[in-house]
């Protein structure tokens, strides 16, 4: 028996029905793989989170202390993480009303079944009013981090994380211990000075010169000595002898230090002054 | 024609002219099988995709502080309507009501997705982490199948009006033919 020839309308409806079913099946499968991949990505990041502290580097750039945290982001899922960007603000209301530092990172693309490294650059400007405090004192700083990324092309993800950040001061516990001045034959006095500080900034190598300046209360320069400093994390103790004119009383004078390095990048950081008791 | 009602046997055939070929007439299928298929579809869809499963997933996630922007009761009701219309669509396939039911089903799916698109942001806080997931793009993609389905329903409805028995005859190949005096059906 002859099969009737389908009309154009019937064939069009049939094509549309098949298309609708195919689109639905494709979308459901796509969504399932996206969900599975996202779980794989999350598990990979959770496994790697322990290595966060092994990839911290810091440098002084001008008047900024720049902390660079790099951490690997493994992507075990099928889909790419695209345009991964981060931003963070650090603040501590007791130190300074405004933000202490800002962080930027990315954009980074991490291919599916691949690895990417995310670098977070945080600049603490020592020229800020809070600078002198942060140079000498460790502090607990509150941070808020925002992450934006696009997963599997069509899923925008935003992450907001509130966290506490332990700031390690590069010249923590800076102290000057002045010994008894010893008069010299050439109308000068030799002053034994012990300078002590601790570099608590993770990953920060201090390599440069510490210029120590002693001025009397009326502003006259008594002496200026420069010492090379090269240290990574840890305590630094400099035992030096200063020579000053006999007119300098030392007691009541002001002692100040400037840490400099020709670079690159050039460094010029003034440390807070102290009055010699 | 109401859904679930069997299409009547083909149209009355004119009296054949002397010497004209003799025809057999197409006997449309019964709707009992389609009703069972519709009920099975409705149940599977409601429990597995649009109603009960999402409801319990949302309840389960809520225990861990993951609350979705959709009320669980709304999921049950809207999912129920989606499933009922889809089940009706399956049940009405051997009838001329299939096209309009498909239009209604796809139309409701579109309205439901457009409603979900009004707040397509999933935000949750876990251990101080606030994660925001915007799924508007996914929902927009999920507009495609019902949009095509709506078109298919409209074309099917028009086709069923212009060629009343063609689709049913093609989709449900005849198990038996009723002898007819001619005019419609297959020539012997």
The shortest CB-CB distance from A159 to any of B129, B167, B169 is to B129
Can you list the positions of beta strands (E) in A93-233?
96-110, 114-125, 139-151, 155-167, 172-178, 182-183, 188-199, 206-215, 221-231
For residue A248, pLDDT beyond 90: no
Q: Say yes or no: do domains A47-167 and A172-275 share a fold.
A: yes
Residue A263's CB is within 10 A of a number of other CB atoms, namely: 12
Per-residue pLDDT, averaged over A86-108, amounts to: 85
Size of interface A-B (CB pairs under 8 A): 89
**Which has the higher per-residue pLDDT, B18 or A160?**
A160
- Cβ(B102)–Cβ(B89) under 8 Å? yes
Question: Which of helix, strand or coil describes residue A10?
Answer: helix
**Which has the higher per-residue pLDDT, B95 or B64?**
B95
Instruction: List the domain boundaries for chain A.
Output: 47-167, 172-275
For residue A53, pLDDT beyond 50: no
The residues that bridge with A224 in the sheet, in sequence order, are A213
Q: Which of A264-273, B122-131, B132-141 has the highest mean pLDDT?
A: B132-141
Minimal Cα distance from A9: which residue of B? B159
For residue B119, pLDDT beyond 80: yes
Say how many CA atoms lie within 13 Å of B62 toward its Cβ: 12
Q: Tokens at residue A153, please?
A: 């092309």
The shortest CB-CB distance from B155 to any of A6, A13, A158 is to A13
A32 in contact with chain B, both atoms CB, cutoff 8 A: no
pLDDT confidence of B7, banded at 50, 70, 90?
A: very low
pLDDT confidence of B3, banded at 50, 70, 90?
A: very low
Within 8 A by CB and 6+ apart from A238, the residues are A194, A195, A196, A210, A227, A229
Q: What are phi and psi of A203, to 5 degrees?
A: 80, 5
Minimal Cα distance from B164: which residue of A? A10
pLDDT confidence of B19, banded at 50, 70, 90?
A: low
* pLDDT of B142: 92
- Tens-digit pLDDT profile for residues B28-79: 667 788 888 888 888 888 888 788 888 888 888 777 666 777 888 888 899 9
What CATH superfamily classification does A172-275 receive? Immunoglobulins (2.60.40.10)
Contact A161 B129 (CB under 8 A): yes
Q: Tokens at residue A248, please?
A: 């300098």
B2 in contact with chain A, both atoms CB, cutoff 8 A: no
Contact A163 B163 (CB under 8 A): no
**Which has the higher per-residue pLDDT, A87 or B151?**
B151
Which run of H or E residues covers position A274?
Answer: strand A267-275
For residue A140, pLDDT beyond 80: yes
pLDDT confidence of B6, banded at 50, 70, 90?
A: very low
For residue B5, pLDDT beyond 60: no
For residues A90 and B47, give the distance between their C-alpha atoms in angstroms, rounded to a whole number.
48
Give B47-53's long-range contacts (Cβ < 8 A, gap of 24+): B49/B79, B50/B75, B50/B78, B50/B79, B50/B82, B50/B83, B51/B75, B51/B76, B51/B79, B51/B80, B51/B82, B51/B83, B52/B76, B52/B79
* pLDDT of B183: 47
Q: Say what percent of chain B tops pLDDT 90.
A: 26
**Could you write out the three-class secondary structure of chain B?**
CCCCCCCCCCCCCCCCCCCCCCEEEECCCCCHHHHHHHHHHHHHHHHHHHCHHHHHHHHHHHHCCCCCCCCHHHHHHHHHHHHHHHHHHHHCCCCCCHHHHHHHHHHHHHHHHHHHCCCCEEEEEECCEEEEEECHHHHHHCCHHHHHHHHHHHHHHHHHHHCCCHHHHHHCCCCCEEEECCCCCEEC
pTM: 0.65
CA distances from A52 to A46, A69, A72 (A): 11, 8, 8
Task: Give the residue among A95, A122, A235, A129 at the shortest CA–CA distance from A172.
Answer: A235
Q: Tokens at residue A257, please?
A: 């230090």
Q: Tokens at residue A185, please?
A: 């034959």
* pLDDT of A161: 77
**Which has the higher per-residue pLDDT, B87 or A55?**
B87
For residues B51 and B72, give the distance between their C-alpha atoms in angstroms, rounded to a whole number.
9
Residue A82's CB is within 10 A of a number of other CB atoms, namely: 16
For residue B177, pLDDT beyond 70: no
Give B28-32's long-range contacts (Cβ < 8 A, gap of 24+): B28/B94, B28/B165, B28/B168, B28/B169, B28/B172, B29/B94, B29/B168, B29/B172, B29/B175, B30/B6, B30/B94, B31/B4, B31/B5, B31/B6, B31/B91, B31/B94, B31/B95
Per-residue pLDDT, averaged over A178-182, amounts to: 80
Looking at every residue in chain A, the average pLDDT score rounds to 82
Most A CBs within 10 Å, among B90, B126, B129, to test the A interface: B129
* pLDDT of B103: 96
B158 in contact with chain A, both atoms CB, cutoff 8 A: yes
Which run of H or E residues covers position A66?
Answer: strand A64-75
CA distances from A50 to A109, B80, B124, B129 (A): 22, 46, 24, 17
Give me the residue label for tokens 């931003």.
A87
Contact B186 A2 (CB under 8 A): yes
Distance from CA of A130 to the nearest CA of B (A): 27
Q: Which of A175-189, A211-225, B42-56, B105-119 has the highest mean pLDDT?
A: B105-119
* pLDDT of B8: 47
A47 in contact with chain B, both atoms CB, cutoff 8 A: no
* pLDDT of B178: 60
CATH number of the structural domain A47-167: 2.60.40.10
Assign residue A135 a region (left: φ > 0; alpha: ψ between -120 and 50; beta: otherwise). Answer: alpha
């Amino acid at each position: 028996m002859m099969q009737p020839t389908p009309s154009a309308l019937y064939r069009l409806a049939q094509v549309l029905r098949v298309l609708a079913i195919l689109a639905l099946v494709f979308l459901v499968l796509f969504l399932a793989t996206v969900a599975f991949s996202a779980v794989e990505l999350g598990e990979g990041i959770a496994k790697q989170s322990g290595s966060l502290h092994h990839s911290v580097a810091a440098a002084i750039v001008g008047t900024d202390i720049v902390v660079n945290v790099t951490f690997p982001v493994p992507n075990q899922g099928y889909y790419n993480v695209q345009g991964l960007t981060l931003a963070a603000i650090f603040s501590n209301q007791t130190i300074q009303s405004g933000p202490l530092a800002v962080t930027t990172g990315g954009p980074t693309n991490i291919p599916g079944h691949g690895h990417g490294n995310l670098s977070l650059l945080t600049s603490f400007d020592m020229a800020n009013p809070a600078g002198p405090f942060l140079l000498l004192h460790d502090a607990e700083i509150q941070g808020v981090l925002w992450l934006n990324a696009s997963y599997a092309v069509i899923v925008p993800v935003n992450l907001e994380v509130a966290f506490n950040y332990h700031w390690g001061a590069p010249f923590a516990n800076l102290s000057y211990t002045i010994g008894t001045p010893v008069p010299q034959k050439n109308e000068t006095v030799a002053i034994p000075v012990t300078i002590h500080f601790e570099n608590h900034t993770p990953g920060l190598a201090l390599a440069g010169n510490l210029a120590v300046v002693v001025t009397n209360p009326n502003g006259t320069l008594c002496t200026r000595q420069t010492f090379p400093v090269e240290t990574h994390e840890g305590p630094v103790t400099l035992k030096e002898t200063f020579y000053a004119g006999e007119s300098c009383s030392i007691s009541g004078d002001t002692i100040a230090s400037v840490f400099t390095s020709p670079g690159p990048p050039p460094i010029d950081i003034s440390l807070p002054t102290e009055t010699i008791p | 024609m109401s859904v679930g009602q069997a299409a009547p046997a083909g149209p009355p055939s004119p009296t054949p002219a002397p010497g004209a070929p003799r025809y057999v007439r197409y006997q449309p299928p019964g709707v009992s099988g389609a009703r069972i298929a519709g009920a099975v579809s409705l149940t599977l869809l409601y429990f597995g995709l649009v109603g009960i499963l999402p409801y319990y997933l949302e309840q389960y996630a809520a225990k861990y502080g993951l609350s979705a922007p959709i009320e669980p009761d709304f999921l049950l009701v809207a999912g129920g309507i989606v499933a009922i219309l889809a089940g009706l669509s399956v049940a009405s396939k051997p009838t001329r009501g299939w096209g309009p039911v498909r239009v209604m089903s796809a139309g409701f799916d579109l309205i439901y997705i457009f409603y979900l698109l009004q707040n397509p942001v999933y935000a949750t806080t876990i251990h101080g982490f606030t994660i925001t997931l915007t799924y508007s793009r996914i929902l927009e993609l999920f507009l495609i199948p019902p949009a095509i389905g709506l078109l298919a329903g409209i074309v099917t409805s028009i086709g069923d009006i212009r060629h009343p028995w063609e689709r049913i005859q093609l989709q449900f190949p005849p198990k038996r033919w009723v002898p007819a005096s001619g005019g419609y059906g297959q020539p012997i």
